[in-house]
Structure 1
Amino acid sequence: MKTGENLVQEFEKVMSGQPWYGDPIYNILDRITFDSAYEKPSRAAHNVAEILLHMLSWTEEVMDRLNGMTAGVPSSGDWPPTGAPDEKKWSDWIDDLKLANVNLVKIITDFPQEQWDEQIDDKRGNEPVTTYKELVYGFIQHQIYHAGQIALLVKMVNG
């Protein structure tokens, strides 16, 4: 199996398949009500809406890097502000994440096999050297980490 095919398979398993650790991310998000998305339990660093926007912004940053742009902080910010609670925005953000993931899968699928082990363009100087393949694997781990946070926050909010 080619690198891109393997990465897509792993990514799709985490998002909507049957990952070994438990529920896929879309199933976790489906259980979140609008009200609970904005609640922040005592001592929690972020609420679910903030984490979702963070996941979306990093999806966009990974797409930019795979498209040859220099590595940096996502254009929408590392932790974009959610603004006031808004049910329409919450629904749109979930749709935006799903659409971004469809676009990411297309980019990964079309990425040239011979470039997966090349280093990404990163002039920040304080980051470890990363290949495109390591970037996508790290991104998948990033999304899993935040899915776990979301699942725990939902349990804290909903009891």
Structure 2
Amino acid sequence: MIIERNKKYLLYRILMSHILILFIYIGGNLTLSNILPIWIVSVVLPNFILSFLKNLKAVEIHDDYIILIFSKYFKKHKESYRYTDLRFTYKNEFEGANSRGLKFRIYKKDIDKSIVNIGGLIDGWYENQIIEIITELEKNKIEVL
């Protein structure tokens, strides 16, 4: 079974970054001379950098192993792991100063650094998709902590 992230996540990410410019405009500090640099710094540059980072695009679940499909440098990259080598968590974690959110993380058994963490604000993975992944893992007798 293949579970993919929301295809509109890029649109939402760009929309959220344009909201910053809207707040600057409402505050009255936006002029013709500073609109281009502010737009480049708050919209173009972050979205350009995020498109080069390793982002989880899809999860392919099999009986004995899981395949994580990433997009990195605009290319598809696959990583395969056996369930016996992995740990999964789904719990409330701090996202910022005072905000908490549910995060799904995949760890290697012996390493505390996560391979993947999904469930943030603009990563394209929504709670119903994460619940679907967890349900499929539990069908394969994999415990999600």
Q: TM-score range by the shorter chain?
A: 0.3 to 0.5
Structure with bigger helix share is 1
Give the TM-score normalised by structure 1: 0.30
The structure showing larger relative contact order (alpha-carbon pairs under 8 Å, at least 6 residues apart) is 1
Give the TM-score normalised by structure 2: 0.32
Structure with bigger strand share is 2
